Amino acid sequence: MDVVIALTVGLAAGAHTATWGMFKDAPYEGFTWRKYSRSIVLSGIISVVIAAVADFDMSRASSMVVLFGLTYAIERAMTEFYKTFLRDEDQSKYFIPMQLAIRGRVVHRRWERWLIGAGYAVVVALIVLGIDALQDTGVDGLPAVLVIGSLGGWISAFGGAWKDAPLEGFQLLKFFRSPLVALTYSLLLAALTTSYVYFAMGALGYTVATLETYKTFFKPNVPRGKFAGKDIRFPEMLTRRFRFVPLYIGIWAAVAIGFIVAFAQPHHGVI
């Protein structure tokens, strides 16, 4: 039963990601079920593996909401790493390159991307190991959350600024948005888990979900930065994409209920 619940959580996280991704991209790239299902399948696998390795009690709502955030963060990290450092794709269809770029200029040599990608992966791994090591230093409670709660958001902020700023310009409020949202979610998750890594990385997952919801569904007619100035090639998707909105709202509703139940049940966390 734990596997079934973990799989369900993962599929929901993947459907959430796939839906906002489709909503913003489909008018420019078209829609295929194969592409839509990629994040769903990957998230399902990730969620089951995490639940098994972490030995989550999936009968508890706290485990479900923490797992949702972790799955979201890891799936996004894996997908963006692949797009940035490993995938070879024609970048002319984008205003902001999705492939690794330095000062807005795409790095075409595969070995250079792989080398930089390896360095980036090492840095992220060291940050995660550092968060885990902090758990044994005696820094706990609210001070621990304040110290590491926004780290995932800073990773997102620096990555976004590196990619977007050379072409869009540096936006101060946008840069600090991810760390502040991540800290807010960290305060919630830290009450539900005793693992510093789980609440910090889980908060990053929820941060991505929240900010993408705002950018995608609260500004549906504002072109995303990567397609700025590009022609809409599939205008039928401007209306067809709204068919997926009820699913998206349903997942958010389930997440909200999960948090409410988690806090209503006996729970133990860092704070």
Amino acid (one-letter) located at 132? D
CA end-to-end span of the chain: 29
Residue 135 pLDDT: 87
What pLDDT is attached to residue 99? 86
In angstroms, the Cα distances linking 53 to 47, 49, 63, 67, 84 are: 10, 6, 13, 12, 28
- Give dist(CA 219, CA 223) in Å, integer: 9
Extended strands (E) in the chain: 101-102, 105-106
Tell me the average pLDDT across 223-243.
87
Burial of 117 from C-beta contacts in 10 A (0-12 / 13-18 / 19+): middle
**What is the predicted pLDDT for the residue at 44?**
98
Per-residue pLDDT at 164: 67
Instruction: Using a pLDDT cut of 70, give the percent of the chain over it.
Output: 95
- The domain segmentation of the chain, as residue ranges, is 2-264
Q: What is the pLDDT of residue 167?
A: 57
- Note the pLDDT of residue 165: 63
Share above pLDDT 90 across residues of the chain, in percent, rounded to a whole number: 64
pLDDT digits (tens, 9 = 90+) for 248-259: 999 999 999 999
- In angstroms, the CA 206 to CA 72 distance is 7
- If we measure between CA atoms, which residue out of 261, 201, 231 comes closest to residue 95? 231
CA 264, chain centre distance (Å):
26
pLDDT band at 166 (very low <50, low <70, confident <90, very high): low
Q: Does residue 167 or residue 176 have the better pLDDT?
A: 176
Model pLDDT, residue 156: 77
The amino acid at 198: Y
**pLDDT for position 170:** 63
Tell me the per-residue pLDDT of 193-213, one tens digit each, with 9 for 90 and over. 999 999 999 999 999 999 999
The pLDDT tens digits for 88-131 are 888 777 777 788 888 778 888 999 999 999 999 999 899 999 99
> What's the mean per-residue pLDDT of the chain?
90
pLDDT of residue 270: 87
Q: Which one is predicted more confidently, 142 or 244?
A: 244
pLDDT for 45-78, tens place per residue? 999 999 999 999 999 999 999 999 999 999 999 9
pLDDT attached to residue 112: 93
pLDDT tier at 169 (50, 70, 90 boundaries)? low
- Tell me the residue type at 1: M
Considering only CA atoms, give the Rg of the chain.
19
